[in-house]
Amino acid sequence: MNQKIIFIFLLAFLFYLTSQTVVPGQSKDEIDALKKEIMKTKPGTSTFLLRGYAHSGLEIMDDNSSFVGGSFNPIFLWRQSSKLLFESELELELEDGETVIGLEYANMSYFLNDYITLRLGKFLIPFGTFGERLHPRWINRLPSNPLGYSHDEQVGPSSQVGIEIRGAIPVLTGYGINYSIYLVNGPNLNDGSIEPEEAGKLHYDNFLDNNKNKAIGGRIGFLPLSDATLEIGFSGQFGKVGNTGSQYEDVSAKLYAFDLSYVKMIKELKSIIDLKGQLNIVEVDNAEYVTGDDPNGMYSFDNVSKAYYGQISLKPAFVKNEILNHLEFVGRYSKLLLPSKAAWGGEKTQLTFGINYWIDWRTVVKFGYQTITVDSNPGLPVTNSFLLHWSIGF
């Protein structure tokens, strides 16, 4: 009997021991496996992020209408360390029945200290703020760009290749100043030898410089108030634009821009008011160009171009109505003034009104009505357009 009791006791003890040794062993394995899984997701010192934006829409004009394929702009960000960032943006869009891929920018930023960043490569030029900060479709409050601020009929640079230092310093004015100084290839002058109708026009896609001279430029922005609501900016870019060895070798261009931004919550209206404006001026030295009709005939003109816009938007984001607080009302006046005596000259006025519905903070459906009047040719009819676009940032 005693032997039976001892045997049962030993069996129970053995079971206890084995159960005690197996279970903790299994838990330890599980914990180790869990640790390994966690370590797999632990970020390294360098991180990669894919962001970007896209848009598409429907455009109805006086004599035709079309769905527009819009564009898809992936943005690649590599954060190599707390000091080093590489960023690049591609633009994929449908143009004349083909898919076109463009490199918007690709550059490396090195943070020298708290207030100075060194940037090398192809970067968006801080000439005003529209081209650098406001042009992405999910940021631009209207379905279209102001006159003179898109790739066609461009007055002022958008992106160029070079070197830049930039940053922000909390001195001088209320919120501080931000600045940028850069050296780039600069624009090149179309001398009309191949395209007489474009003689005197500047092209900004000068990715392989046409002369030894580099354009120097910069922008300084003042934020004079204590809450960053107001920013006033001055930009300039100066350099020779003619081809080396040509009669236009010494032709220079002086580019200026003035920009303004005011964003403020108006408590009484439970809304955010957003005012934006920019004036671009491009002055090219006078030169003589071949006329298109007569190869021996030459002509000259005051080569000054201007493009400006003013925009106001009101977003009742703090009203209680669930539909109204997703809406935004926008109006913009834009003007383009090109040299009247140039073959590509003329004067246009654009008036655009829009209502936006924000699905979330980065997804918007935009309804717009736009008129474009060719002031330099009153005989031409006014172009009316209804624009419906959706844009998403991600």
Partner 1 sequence: MKTKIINSVLVVSFFALLFYGCSTYKEITSKSGAQLWGENCVRCHNAPSPSAFSDTEWETIAQHMRVRANLNSTQVNKIVDFLKMAN
CB of 310 to partner 1, least distance (A): 17
Among 71, 117, 145, 305, binds partner 1 (CB under 8 A): 117
Contacts of 347 (CB under 8 A, 6+ apart): 335, 336, 337, 338, 340, 374, 375, 376
Among 101, 171, 194, 323, binds partner 1 (CB under 8 A): 171
CB of 283 to partner 1, least distance (A): 14
- Which position has the token pair 């020298």? 112
Q: Which stretch binds partner 1 (CB under 8 A): 23-31, 129-137, 144-152, 247-255?
A: 129-137
Position 61 contacts partner 1 (CB under 8 A): no
Would you say 334 or 356 has its CB closer to partner 1? 356
Position 365 contacts partner 1 (CB under 8 A): no
Total residues binding partner 1 (CB under 8 A): 53
Position 358 contacts partner 1 (CB under 8 A): yes
CB of 50 to partner 1, least distance (A): 10
**Residue 336 is inside which H or E element, if any?**
strand 327-338
Distances (CA, A) of 4 to 7, 12, 15: 5, 12, 16
Contact by Cβ (8 Å): 357, 390: no
Position 109 contacts partner 1 (CB under 8 A): yes
Contact by Cβ (8 Å): 375, 387: no
Q: How many CB atoms lie within 10 A of CB 155?
A: 24
Q: Cα separation of 372 and 381, whole Å?
A: 9
Would you say 87 or 191 has its CB closer to partner 1? 87
Q: Cα separation of 325 and 337, whole Å?
A: 38
Footprint on this chain of partner 1 (rule: CB under 8 A): 43, 47-49, 51, 75, 77, 79, 82, 85, 87, 109, 111, 114-115, 117, 119, 129, 132-134, 138-139, 166-176, 178-180, 221-222, 224-229, 231, 261, 263, 272, 358, 361-362, 393
